[in-house]
Amino acid sequence: MDEIKREHKKDMRERGYTGAWIAVLALALVSALLGWARLSGLPDLGVTIGPDLTIRQVAVERSPASEAQNFQRGDRLVAVEGMTLEDLRHLRALLPAMTEGASSVASEGGESKVLNYQILRPLHRFSVTVQGEGFDPTQLPPGVEPTDRLVEIDGRILPGKVGPEGLRSVVASRSDALLGLERPNAIFSGQMRVGEARVHTGLLLTFGLALIAVLLLWWRSSEVLPPRSAYLIALETVGLAWLYLMAYGYQWLLADEVLAALVIVSLVMMRPMAMYARRQVEAPGALRSGASVLAIGAVVSLVLVTALYAGYLANVEVALHAAAILAGLFVIYEISAQGFESGVNIGLGERYGYLTGVVVLGLFACVVAAVMEPVAFEEDRWRWFAVLIPSMVWFGDYLFALKYGVRSALGDIADERSRQELLYGYLREVGVEVPGSELRLVGRLPGQSFELRFEGDGELQVVPARPEVADAVDILLAEGYQVPMDEAGEAHPMVGIAEAMALALAQRLPAPRGCLELDGGAEMVVLGSWTTSPPEGIAYAAPQALDVATAAWSAPLWSAAMIELLEAAAEERRQELEGDQGPDLAALQQEIDAGEEERRELSASVAAREQELSQARRERDQAQADTELFRITAAAEVWPESLAAQLVEPELVEGLRFLLETPEPIAIGGAIGVGKSMVGALVHALGGGEPEAMRVLTAGEAGATEAIDLILGEEAGGQGPGLLQSAIWAGGQGTLLVRRAQLLDEARMVALCHQCEEAGVRLCLAFDAADAEERSVLEGFSAVMEDALGHREVIVPAFRRRGGIQRVVLEFWLQEWSARYGKEVEGFSRTALDALLAYSYPGEVREAVEVVRLSVLWARYDVIDREDLPTRVREARPL
Structure confidence by residue, pLDDT tens digits, 614-666: 777 766 666 666 677 777 788 888 878 777 777 888 888 888 888 888 888 99
Which of 170-174, 256-260, 445-449 comes out lowest in average pLDDT?
170-174
Which CATH class name applies to 411-579? alpha beta
Q: What is the band of 447 on the pLDDT scale with cuts at 50, 70, 90?
A: confident
Q: pLDDT: is 779 or 141 the higher one?
A: 779
Query: What pLDDT shows up at residue 135?
Result: 59
Query: What pLDDT shows up at residue 854?
Result: 92
Query: What pLDDT shows up at residue 342?
Result: 44
Query: What pLDDT shows up at residue 495?
Result: 74
Fold of the domain spanning 13-18+199-403: Rhopdopsin 7-helix transmembrane proteins (1.20.1070)
Say which amino acid occupies 328. G
Which of 209-213, 294-298, 570-574 comes out lowest in average pLDDT?
570-574
Which of 71-85, 506-520, 768-782 comes out lowest in average pLDDT?
506-520
Q: Are 748 and 712 in contact (CB under 8 A)?
A: yes
Query: What pLDDT shows up at residue 470?
Result: 84
Which CATH class name applies to 803-874? mainly alpha
The continuous run of DSSP H or E covering 694 comes out as: strand 694-698
Q: What span, in angstroms and rounded, lies between the C-alpha atoms of 347 and 351?
A: 8
Query: What pLDDT shows up at residue 262?
Result: 93
Q: Are strands 47-49 and 55-58 parallel, antiparallel or unpaired?
A: antiparallel
Query: What pLDDT shows up at residue 264?
Result: 92
Percent with pLDDT over 70 in the chain:
83
pLDDT in tens, 302-326: 999 999 899 888 888 888 888 888 8
For Cα atoms 545, 546, 550, give the angle at the middle one, nearest 5 degrees. 115
Q: Are 430 and 552 in contact (CB under 8 A)?
A: yes
For the chain, what is the mean pLDDT?
A: 78
Q: What is the dihedral of CA 68, 73, 78, 79, to 10 degrees?
A: 30
Q: Are strands 761-768 and 734-739 parallel, antiparallel or unpaired?
A: parallel
Q: pLDDT: is 541 or 756 the higher one?
A: 756
What three-state secondary structure class fits 11?
helix
Q: What span, in angstroms and rounded, lies between the C-alpha atoms of 427 and 450?
A: 16
pLDDT in tens, 564-604: 888 888 887 777 776 655 545 667 677 788 888 888 888 78
Residue 773 has pLDDT above 60, yes or no: yes
Query: What pLDDT shows up at residue 63?
Result: 42
Looking at the DSSP assignment, which residues form a beta bridge with residue 751? Answer: none
pLDDT in tens, 2-50: 444 444 444 444 445 788 889 889 998 998 888 888 888 787 777 888 8
Q: Are 464 and 448 in contact (CB under 8 A)?
A: yes
Angstrom distances, CA of residue 54 to CA of 50, 74, 76, 88, 556: 5, 6, 4, 9, 65
Angstrom distances, CA of residue 40 to CA of 44, 87, 262, 410: 11, 20, 17, 55
Q: What's the average model confidence in pLDDT over 212-228?
A: 79
Query: What pLDDT shows up at residue 460?
Result: 82
pTM of the complete model:
0.47
Residues contacting residue 91 through CB under 8 Å, at least 6 positions apart: 49, 53, 77, 80, 85, 255
Q: pLDDT: is 169 or 298 the higher one?
A: 298
Helices 257-282 & 18-39 angle (0-180, nearest 10)? 160
Q: What span, in angstroms and rounded, lies between the C-alpha atoms of 43 and 104?
A: 13
Q: pLDDT: is 619 or 484 the higher one?
A: 484
Query: What pLDDT shows up at residue 878?
Result: 65
For residue 792, how far is the Cα from the chain centroid?
A: 42
Which CATH class name applies to 633-645+657-795? alpha beta
Query: What pLDDT shows up at residue 109?
Result: 60
Q: What is the band of 1 on the pLDDT scale with cuts at 50, 70, 90?
A: very low
Q: What's the average model confidence in pLDDT over 691-719?
A: 78
Q: Are strands 110-131 and 103-107 parallel, antiparallel or unpaired?
A: antiparallel
| Nearest CA among 10, 15, 511 for reference residue 222 | 15
Query: What pLDDT shows up at residue 14?
Result: 46
Choose the most confident range, by mean pLDDT, from 354-358, 413-417, 837-841.
Answer: 837-841
Say which amino acid occupies 869. L
What three-state secondary structure class fits 859?
coil
Looking at the DSSP assignment, which residues form a beta bridge with residue 129? Answer: 178
In three-state form (DSSP H/G/I as H, E/B as E, the rest C), the secondary structure along 276-307 is HHHHHHHCCCCCCCCHHHHHHHHHHHHHHHHH
Q: pLDDT: is 110 or 277 the higher one?
A: 277
Q: Where are the domains of the chain?
A: 13-18+199-403, 47-194, 411-579, 633-645+657-795, 803-874
Q: What's the average model confidence in pLDDT over 351-361?
A: 69
Q: What span, in angstroms and rounded, lies between the C-alpha atoms of 827 and 833?
A: 9
Query: What pLDDT shows up at residue 155?
Result: 74
| Nearest CA among 722, 721, 654, 640 for reference residue 682 | 640
Query: What pLDDT shows up at residue 516?
Result: 67
Percent with pLDDT over 90 in the chain:
6
Q: What's the average model confidence in pLDDT over 824-849?
A: 89
Say which amino acid occupies 647. L
The continuous run of DSSP H or E covering 123 comes out as: strand 110-131
Q: What span, in angstroms and rounded, lies between the C-alpha atoms of 327 and 430?
A: 47
Q: What's the average model confidence in pLDDT over 767-775?
A: 86
What three-state secondary structure class fits 718?
coil
pLDDT in tens, 95-148: 777 777 777 777 666 677 778 788 888 888 877 777 755 556 667 777 777 778
- Cis bond leading into 484, ω under 30°? yes
Residues contacting residue 771 through CB under 8 Å, at least 6 positions apart: none
pLDDT in tens, 226-271: 778 888 889 999 999 999 888 888 888 888 889 889 999 999 998 8
The continuous run of DSSP H or E covering 425 comes out as: helix 416-431
| Nearest CA among 872, 807, 878 for reference residue 841 | 872
Query: What pLDDT shows up at residue 876?
Result: 77
Q: What span, in angstroms and rounded, lies between the C-alpha atoms of 874 and 861?
A: 17
Q: What span, in angstroms and rounded, lies between the C-alpha atoms of 464 and 447?
A: 11
Q: What span, in angstroms and rounded, lies between the C-alpha atoms of 619 and 322?
A: 36
Residue 384 has pLDDT above 80, yes or no: yes
For residue 303, how far is the Cα from the chain centroid?
A: 26
Q: What span, in angstroms and rounded, lies between the C-alpha atoms of 333 and 631?
A: 15
Q: What's the average model confidence in pLDDT over 772-786?
A: 83
Q: What's the average model confidence in pLDDT over 374-385?
A: 78
Residue 746 has pLDDT above 60, yes or no: yes
Query: What pLDDT shows up at residue 864?
Result: 92
For residue 196, how far is the Cα from the chain centroid?
A: 43
Q: Are 172 and 137 in contact (CB under 8 A)?
A: yes
Choose the most confident range, by mean pLDDT, from 518-527, 624-633, 849-858.
Answer: 849-858
